Structure 1
């Protein structure tokens, strides 16, 4: 298994938290979230659009984000997403779990055998 495959697998389990984190900075439309994630990693990682749109639907169904249609005057209408209070709480909980997990993994990887 190469490093890129492992990193993608590890990140895939945190897609919801990554999207919620992106929305903490303000409302965004679907493709804008994709670009924000891609740009934040310098283009090293992209989450497939199909994966993201499934994530948006799941987060909305769970009450963690709300969506609304923009009123763009040019081009197609865009669906925007905003994080809810419940989404902020889940984000904080997920980050705390990640920090605790990272601490355990860092400790285990430094085991001298």
Structure 2
């Protein structure tokens, strides 16, 4: 029997960092460390600072975000980020793609519910 693949608490794939950042910045400007914490809270628990800053830099080069340095009372200046109009367009495209994935997964789960043995409930699978 093939092993069951589970994320073991890893959360969402790192591929969700970019759409997550777009969404967070649509809510308002923020700085890198705060964004990292929010990305992790949103479910990308294995997000790392280096990858996040590389993604923000790529998003800035693409014109999706702008950044500036803000002085800090408690230490060095912090770079803050804000979503651009192009970034808002990228967010809409990302969310449309995620809605399609959601639709496909929902259809697959509906089919699973038809063929799944009665003793295998979602709660019993989650507890394994």
Aligned residue number for residue 95 of structure 1:
95
How many Å apart are 1:7 and its aligned residue? 4.1
Q: How far apart, in 2, do the equivalents of 1:5 and 1:74 lie? A: 34
Kindly indicate whether residue 26 of structure 2 is the aligned counterpart of residue 24 of structure 1.
Answer: yes
Does residue 83 of the first structure (1) align with residue 76 of the second (2)?
Answer: no
Tell me how far 1:106 sits from its aligned partner. Answer: 1.5
**Aligned residues, how many?**
109
Q: Please tell me the root mean square deviation across aligned C-alpha atoms, in Å.
A: 2.1
What TM-score do the two structures reach when normalised by structure 2? 0.74
> Aligned equivalents of 1:78 and 1:6: distance in 2?
28
Residues 2 and 84 (structure 1), Cα distance of their counterparts in 2 relative to 1, 3 Å cut: same
Q: 2:14 aligns with which of 1, 12, 15?
A: 12
- Residues 30-69 of structure 1, C-alpha deviation per residue, up to 9 Å, x if partnerless? 101012223445xx82411111011011100110000101
Write 1 or 2 for the structure with the bigger share of strand.
2
Which residue of 2 is the match for residue 57 of structure 1? 57
Change (3 A) 1:107 1:32: same
8 Å Cα contact 1:23-1:81 kept in structure 2:
yes
**Unmatched 5+ residue regions in structure 2?**
116-128
> Please, what TM-score do these two structures have when normalized by structure 1?
0.83
Measure how far apart 1:75 and its partner are.
0.9
* Structure 1 stretches lacking a partner, 5+ long: none
Q: For the pair shown, which has the larger CA radius of gyration, 1 or 2?
A: 2
1:65–1:83 Cα contact (<8 Å) kept: yes
Checking the alignment, whether the CA contact within 8 Å between 1:37 and 1:46 is kept in structure 2 is no
